[in-house]
Amino acid sequence: MATMISSVIRAVIFDLDGTLVHSLSGIAQALNTVLERHQLPTHSEQTVRTFIGDGITKLVERACPDNYQDEQVTELTKEVSAEYSTTWQQGTKPYPEVCETLKNLLNSGTKIAVLSNKPHAFCEAMTDFIFPDIPFTAVIGQHQGMPTKPDPASALHLAKTLKACPEEIAFVGDSTIDIATARHAGMVSIAATWGYHDLDQLISERPDHRIDQISELPPILDNNL
């Protein structure tokens, strides 16, 4: 059974891919275009789904043959990033009820932010494009000088930006990485089951709460607002 939220929740941090946006087809398209260009095996969307979560370098590393060297992965990562910059808009859309739920949270006085292992430039461009009328307090993606999730440093940095204590923040994500990040940061962890990661593994991380659609989030928070 989920634990009760013991503090007033003043802010919510969301993961991006697999939580707020369905971006799998755009990611798979860019990845496979580059792999095909180098005459390497391509992957189905369902397989690419298992590569997502730890940033673009890990995505490419997992997609490459086992005998590929680090420098080869680095070069392919640059190509995938360049390709993705031209394709993501055609392969990315918000999940159902996301926009409405984000607006409801804002209307209730809850601050919202995004924390992703996707490269920072893509996170900013994507949130601006897909959520033009949603004023996120902050959007943080993978960038130099900030450790990626599940290291809690970026989440704790966001807590200061949100002007909330960690225990006053709910962290919503679709991966075990997100649940671990929330735990390490002392935040309330909420598992989003509609995303890209294995459900059994997600639940095995023992999140504080589980939601099967994003519209279930406000009622969980309303009990404590």
Residue 189, in any domain of the structure: yes
Q: What does the pLDDT look like over 48-77, one tens digit per residue?
A: 999 998 889 999 999 999 989 999 999 999
Coil, strand, or helix at residue 210? strand
**Same-domain check for residues 123 and 161:** yes
Q: Which of 90, 106, 122 is the endpoint of a domain?
A: 90
DSSP state of 4: P
- Contact in structure between 189 and 179 (CB atoms under 8 Å): yes
Res. 1: pLDDT tops 80: no
Q: Which of 39, 73, 90 is the endpoint of a domain?
A: 90
Residue 2, in any domain of the structure: no
How high is the mean pLDDT of the chain? 93
**Same-domain check for residues 59 and 119:** no
**Same-domain check for residues 70 and 98:** no
Res. 7: pLDDT tops 80: no
Mean pLDDT of 112-130: 96
Residue 31, in any domain of the structure: yes
Least confident of 27-31, 42-46, 58-62, 219-223: 219-223
Any idea what the CATH number is for the domain that residue 72 is in?
1.10.150.240
What pLDDT does 79 receive? Answer: 97
Q: Which long-range contacts (CB under 8 A, 24 or more apart) does 196-202 make?
A: 196/17, 196/18, 196/24, 196/49, 196/50, 196/52, 196/53, 197/18, 197/53, 201/176, 202/174, 202/175, 202/176
User: Greatest CA separation found in the chain?
Assistant: 55
What pLDDT does 146 receive? Answer: 87
Residue 69: φ, ψ to 5°: -85, 160
Res. 117: pLDDT tops 90: yes
What pLDDT does 160 receive? Answer: 97
Q: What does the pLDDT look like over 125-165, one tens digit per residue?
A: 999 999 999 999 999 999 888 899 999 999 999 999 999 99
Q: Which of 90, 118, 146 is the endpoint of a domain?
A: 90
Residue 6, in any domain of the structure: no
Tokens of 204: 């095995």
**Same-domain check for residues 85 and 151:** no
Mean pLDDT of 181-198: 96
- Contact in structure between 110 and 10 (CB atoms under 8 Å): yes
Number of domains, the chain:
2
Any idea what the CATH number is for the domain that residue 197 is in?
3.40.50.1000
**Same-domain check for residues 85 and 171:** no
Q: Tell me the pLDDT band of 224, cut-offs 50, 70 and 90.
A: low
- Contact in structure between 123 and 114 (CB atoms under 8 Å): yes
Residue 84, in any domain of the structure: yes
Mean pLDDT of 93-107: 97
Mean pLDDT of 160-177: 97
Look at residues 49, 8, 50, 5 and name the one whose alpha carbon lies nearest to residue 26: 49
**Same-domain check for residues 63 and 108:** no
**Same-domain check for residues 132 and 205:** yes
Res. 4: pLDDT tops 60: no
Res. 3: pLDDT tops 60: no
**Same-domain check for residues 163 and 194:** yes
Coil, strand, or helix at residue 195? coil
Provide the residue range defining the domain that includes 171.
Answer: 11-22+92-222
Q: Tell me the pLDDT band of 6, cut-offs 50, 70 and 90.
A: low
